[in-house]
Amino acid sequence: MEIPSEGETAVVPAAEAEEPRIDKSTVSDEAIKFLFSVELGELQKCLFSDSLVTVSEGGRELGEFTVTVEFALRGQQPCLLLRASSQGTIDDTPCGTTVTAYLSTYLETLELDCHEFLKLQHHRLQRRCHMVQQDGQMIINKVTTIGEQETKDTISYPMSVLRGLVTEGSNLLLMRILALRKKVPENINFITFDQELHITRTTYSELGPKKMEVGCEMIEVFGVERTVDSLEEIPASWQSYFLPDGHLASRVQVGSPATMRLLRLPAELENDDDKPVFVRRPLVWEEDMQMRSKFLDRKAELEADHASYLRQDPHLRALMADFMQFMLLKKPDDIFRFAREYFLPFSSRRHPGPSL
């Protein structure tokens, strides 16, 4: 479930529902030690945004790739909120992937929502996947749509078998930390999900430093390669290079003709300033799990408070009922004037004058 770069097929049709198969690969001790070694100070250094463009081998821009990490609350639990988006074209066909993930400070996935789409000429392919921890289980719901045909699958795994799980969201944050440390431990093997939601192995290896041109400057970058095994296909690998401060400089899937590149250095590096730069993003609160959750909680709180107030003061209900009945009988053209005159006798400081 890696975020595809432009040049890859973004949606894979769901297979027939079947019993989940668990790969026998084990998580290495080095991987577990790494997760528990992550400190709050390191996470604070990861709170920034990346923005890259996707280009073809010939240099033509195909789309963009963005990642943002920030601290958040999921209910009452402090966590990290990661948003990633890849939008572009494959052979002039629009496609994209969006990921929203809530992660613990040990990079454990608490909740993740992923949407992939590919707009063909005559129909649309899309896949939505939502996973959430609940009652000691990881519940995964996947919906695949091909034209008008929709396939739904639900799979659950006990959290006891998901020790060392790395998902799309936690992978992006994990690599930022590796880049900031400028060292990848040997034999660092985790588990992840493949396209069919089977558990498989994912490994990280160090590519080492090299010089890369970013904008008009040559700067040293640090490379990390991630490989994801598959139970049915050949392994897939992604190579990512990072700036000294953890910003992503380039990213490519091995064998893909498209590459994600940073066009210019972040402002803090250009100005030698430690202040992070935050990219202004349009706010679509309905698609933000945290804001939508807060909205629903606040809505329920207000409804309960209003209902309680009405129960405690029966005169209010009678007063409003009388007003509505009188208004429906009179059917006034000017509702505001009618309401003002109706409630005027109840004012202790009203001016003398006629009332209804």
Checking if the pLDDT of 355 tops 50, the result is no
User: Each residue of 70-124: pLDDT tens digit?
Assistant: 999 988 889 999 999 998 887 778 888 999 999 999 999 999 999 998 887 777 7
**CA-only gyration radius of the chain, Å:** 27
Around 152, how many Cα atoms within 13 Å sit in the side-chain half-sphere?
3
| 268 to 41, 71, 264, 284: CA distances (angstroms) | 19, 20, 11, 28
- Which two three-digit tokens encode residue 217? 């400057």
User: Each residue of 242-263: pLDDT tens digit?
Assistant: 999 999 999 999 988 889 999 8
Higher confidence at residue 52 or residue 283?
Answer: 52
Quick check: is 17 in a domain? Answer: no
Residue 22: band (very low, low, confident or very high) from pLDDT cuts 50, 70, 90: very low
User: How many folded domains does the chain comprise?
Assistant: 2
Q: Determine the longest span between alpha carbons in the chain, in angstroms.
A: 89
| 107 to 90, 147, 266: CA distances (angstroms) | 32, 36, 25
Quick check: is 354 in a domain? Answer: no
**Are both 264 and 310 inside the same structural domain?**
no
**Are both 207 and 310 inside the same structural domain?**
no
What per-residue string of b and e applies to 95-108 under the rule 16 or more CB within 10 Å gives b? bbbbbbbbbbeebb
Higher confidence at residue 233 or residue 133?
Answer: 133
**Are both 218 and 107 inside the same structural domain?**
yes
Q: What is the pLDDT of residue 351?
A: 52
**Are both 316 and 168 inside the same structural domain?**
no
Query: Does residue 350 contact residue 344 with C-beta atoms inside 8 Å?
Result: yes
- To the nearest whole number, what is the mean pLDDT of the chain? 83
User: Each residue of 155-187: pLDDT tens digit?
Assistant: 999 999 999 999 999 999 999 999 999 999 998
Quick check: is 10 in a domain? Answer: no
**Are both 102 and 205 inside the same structural domain?**
yes
Query: Does residue 175 contact residue 188 with C-beta atoms inside 8 Å?
Result: no
3-state SS string for the chain:
CCCCCECECCCCCCCCCCCCCECCCCCCHHHHHHHHHCCHHHHHHCCCEEEEEEECCCCCEEEEEEEEEEEEEECCEEEEEEEEEEEEEECCEEEEEEEEEEECCCCCEEEEEEEEEEECCCCEEEEEEEEEEECCEEEEEEEEEECCEEEEEEEEEEHHHCCCECCHHHHHHHHHHHHHHCCCCCCEEEEEECCCCCEEEEEEEEEEEEEEEECCEEEEEEEEEEEECCCCCCCEEEEEEECCCCCEEEEEECCCCCEEECCCCCHHHHCCCCCCCCCCCCCCHHHCHHHHHHHHHHHHHHHHHHHHHHHHCHHHHHHHHHHHHHHHHHCCCCHHHHHHHHHHHHCCCCCCCCCC
By CB atoms closer than 10 A (0-12, 13-18, 19+), residue 246 is buried
- Which two three-digit tokens encode residue 309? 């107030």
The mean pLDDT value for 25-53 works out to 91
Q: At what angle do helices 335-343 and 314-330 cross, to 10 degrees?
A: 130
Pick from 89, 69, 71, 90: which is nearest to 79 by CA? 71
Q: What is the pLDDT of residue 94?
A: 87
**Are both 103 and 250 inside the same structural domain?**
yes
Checking if the pLDDT of 223 tops 60, the result is yes
Quick check: is 356 in a domain? Answer: no
Quick check: is 199 in a domain? Answer: yes
**Are both 246 and 153 inside the same structural domain?**
yes
**Are both 72 and 192 inside the same structural domain?**
yes
* Amino acid symbol at 41: G
Of 250, 281, 312, the position where a domain reaches its end is 281
Quick check: is 5 in a domain? Answer: no
**Which residue's entry shows tokens 């000017």?**
334
**Are both 225 and 174 inside the same structural domain?**
yes
Of 240, 255, 281, the position where a domain reaches its end is 281
- Which two three-digit tokens encode residue 346? 């109840």
Cα–Cα distance, 65 to 88 (Å, whole number): 9
Domain holding 207, by residue range, is 29-281
